[in-house]
Chains A and B, each alone.
Chain A
Amino acid sequence: MSVDLVNIVYLIAASLFVLGLKGLSHPRTAVRGNMLGALGMFIAVVVTLINQQIIGFEAIVGGLILGGVIGGIWAVKVPMTGMPQFVGLCNGFGGGASVLVAGAAFVEASLQAGTNAVPVQFSIATVASGMIGSVTFWGSLIAFGKLQGLVSEKAVRFPADHFLKALMLLAGLVVGVMIVMNPGVTEYYWIMIAIASMLGILLVVPVGGADMPVVVALLNSYSGTAAAATGFVLSNNVLIIAGSLVGASGFILTQIMCNAMNRSLANVMFAGVGGDTGGGEAMAGDEIYDGKVKSTTPEEVAMLLDSVRSVVFVPGYGLAVAQAQHAVRDLSNLLESKGLKVTFAIHPVAGRMPGHMNVLLAEADISYDKLKDMDEANTGFEQTDITLVIGANDVINPLARDSADTPLTGMPILDVDKSKTVVVIKRSLSPGFAGIANPLFAADNCLMLFADGKQAIQDLTAAVKDA
């Protein structure tokens, strides 16, 4: 097969990737879009396999079978609540593959260096692929560990950690320059990989659990960038195109997540928000809440629900933790059967990854046209009779909107306090990730239903049935 023909097939594959991502612009076309992407990948793999350079298929077939079985079983078994971990770890595998491919290509080029000089752009691309790929791989492992509960979810800081990271970055770059200067010494590549791996670990360890959506999106972007860099190493267009598409995608998501928290990427990555919070803020909380918090019961809420027309559910990470999505679906269906208008208001950073809540609610068979994003939801709260908040806190804290100097100030929130009545289902008055009290809980139109999210929804459903 001629080189031109192979490249034309790669071009078709790249076009299918673009069309596939375009399909994701609407739930109706998304399934087909994903299949187009998979088709693109399939034909790219097939045309590569019939490449005449290949002399042995043992390692290829072995890798395909082993990876296919692991990936296939894992993808079918993983529960929807485990999706952030899954995506986190998958990013890492992509980055790891880039490191190894660039490494193999570099070893090959170095051995030939006696006869052909290694071009500078080749060495630079190898360095980029190795650095970014290693950071992605190890950063993703740590992110996976945090999401899975294997590594502390807290923002772990230690003295001089920023200095250590800067030192690692500098050391990695120095070794990178040495690689470009002496492309015959392959040991340098592995030294750089070791340094970049430590950098990847150090970068993610100080990020708190609720900031994981940003980290997962950023690592997504890195895995694409690493693939694109590997494309430069191999002078392969489809790698470059696919890698840049993914790099751009992850970058956009990272920005959306940061904007939704009104924090810079640097603040998320380096400030260590979500570490151990002192007692000062808890005191302030007591002052705000003192005597003003009204506790309610499922029966009371059921009575309220009996006389209203519209309900908005606001899910937060607590819904995922309590696995309450199916219970919420049952309550939602019951309320609809009684003639109420039910919608769901979803904050961009609710949960542990972009779009986390939407996936959980879709899993529970909730129609996607009921899921409203923040801007759309905020136009409707004033006309809403009852807002039911399940396991969300910071994203509904009015201090973010009304106060000038809190950690949340400026973060766009869901204006649930504007609805006629707010019912917050929560175990206690404990502060959210930002560590500050929520004056909403003491507001006149707010009722607290202290319970486990799933249990409370089930009790509420039973009470509505009896009413």
Chain B
Amino acid sequence: MSEFVLVLTIFVLAIFVGFEVITKVPPILHTPLMSGSNAISGITIIGAILSAGVQYTALTTVLGFTAMVFATINVVGGFLVTHRMLDMFKRKG
């Protein structure tokens, strides 16, 4: 099996997992779901680390650095704000 088919397999299966997991999230938590999943999409930070660190050319390093800033805002801001929100969902009485 070529590498491409392998990653394609992972991609398709992950989509199915995503659908199964996300459909169980209740409407009350839809905003934290968006901000939390948004933070997860900041996983591009890994690609950014490689681009910024491998220093292939000056251009790729600059691109990597900028991507690093964007992705870090996404990750740090996303998880923090989700935590702030979820912390407010309390049951009283």
Alpha-carbon distance between A44 and B46 when the two chains are bound, in angstroms = 7
Q: Which of A97-105, A197-205, A419-427, A435-443 contacts B (4 or more CB under 8 A)?
A: A97-105
Q: A21-B21, A76-B84, A94-B74 are in contact. Are A103 and B63 (CB under 8 A)?
A: yes
State the CA gap A14–B18 with chains docked (Å).
12
Query: Considering residues A17, A18, A216, which has the most beta carbons from chain B within 10 angstroms of its beta carbon?
Result: A17
Number of interface residues of B (CB under 8 A): 81
Interface string of B35-57 (1 = CB under 8 A from A): 11111111111111111111111
Inter-subunit contact A244/B15 (CB<8 Å) = yes
Q: How far is the CA of A220 from the CA of B59 in the complex (A)?
A: 28
Supply 30 A–B pairs (Cβ within 8 Å), ascending by A.
A25-B21, A25-B29, A27-B86, A37-B40, A41-B39, A44-B46, A45-B45, A51-B49, A63-B69, A67-B72, A70-B69, A75-B84, A78-B81, A80-B85, A91-B41, A93-B73, A94-B71, A97-B67, A100-B66, A104-B51, A107-B60, A227-B41, A233-B47, A236-B47, A238-B46, A239-B46, A241-B10, A252-B19, A253-B30, A359-B88
The 3 closest A-B pairs by CB, nearest first: A63-B68, A67-B72, A248-B18
Q: B38, A220: Cβ atoms under 8 Å?
A: yes
Question: A405 within 8 Å of B by Cβ?
Answer: no
Give residues 5-58 of A contacting B (CB, 8 Å).
Answer: 14, 17-18, 20-22, 24-28, 30-31, 33-35, 37-38, 40-41, 44-45, 48-49, 51, 53-57
Residues in A242-284 with C-beta less than 8 Å from chain B: 242-250, 252-253, 256
Residues of chain B within 8 A (CB-CB) of A80 are 85, 88
Which A residues are in CB contact (< 8 Å) with B39? 37-38, 41, 90
Interface of chain A: mostly helix, strand, loop or mixed? helix
- Separation of A251 and B45 alpha carbons in the complex (Å): 22
Closest to B64 in A: A104
Given contacts A30-B32, A101-B64, A373-B28, contact A68 B72 (CB under 8 A): yes
Distance in angstroms between the alpha carbons of A57 and B80 in the assembled complex? 25
Contact B50 A243, beta carbon cutoff 8 Å? no
The answer to whether the Cβ of A297 comes within 8 Å of any Cβ in the partner chain is no
Q: B89 near A368 (CB under 8 angstroms)?
A: yes
In-complex Cβ contact of A71 among B25, B53, B80, B82 (8 A) = B80
Known A59-B52, A72-B77, A249-B18: A67·B68 in contact at CB below 8 Å = yes
Residues of A close to B74: CB separation below 8 A: 67, 71, 90, 93-94, 97
- Given A87-B31, A359-B31, 9 more A-B residue pairs with CB atoms under 8 Å apart are A25-B29, A63-B52, A67-B71, A71-B75, A71-B77, A235-B3, A244-B11, A245-B21, A363-B88
Are A34 and B36 neighbours in the complex by a CB distance under 8 Å?
Answer: yes
Judge whether A87 and B93 touch: CB under 8 Å: no
Chain A residues with CB below 8 A from B83, complex form: 31, 34-35, 38
The bracket for how many chain A residues form the interface is 35 or more
Nearest A residue to B18 via CB reads A248
B-binding residues in A (CB < 8 A): 14, 17-18, 20-22, 24-28, 30-31, 33-35, 37-38, 40-41, 44-45, 48-49, 51, 53-57, 59-60, 62-64, 66-68, 70-72, 74-76, 78, 80, 83, 86-87, 90-91, 93-94, 96-98, 100-105, 107-108, 111, 119, 121, 216-217, 220, 223-224, 226-228, 230-250, 252-253, 256, 346, 348, 353-356, 358-359, 362-363, 365, 367-369, 371, 373-374
Contacts of A25 in B (CB 8 A): 21, 24-26, 29
| Most chain B CB within a 10 A radius of its CB, from A59, A66, A227, A235 | A59
- CA distance in complex: A70, B40 (Å): 18
Which residues of chain B come closer than 8 Å to A14, judged between CB atoms?
14
Contact A358 B21 (CB under 8 A): no
Q: Which of A78, A105, A256 has the most CB of B within 10 A?
A: A105
Output the least CB separation between A420 and chain B (Å). 26
Q: Which residues of the other chain, B, contact A90 by a CB distance below 8 angstroms?
A: 35, 38-39, 73-74, 77-78
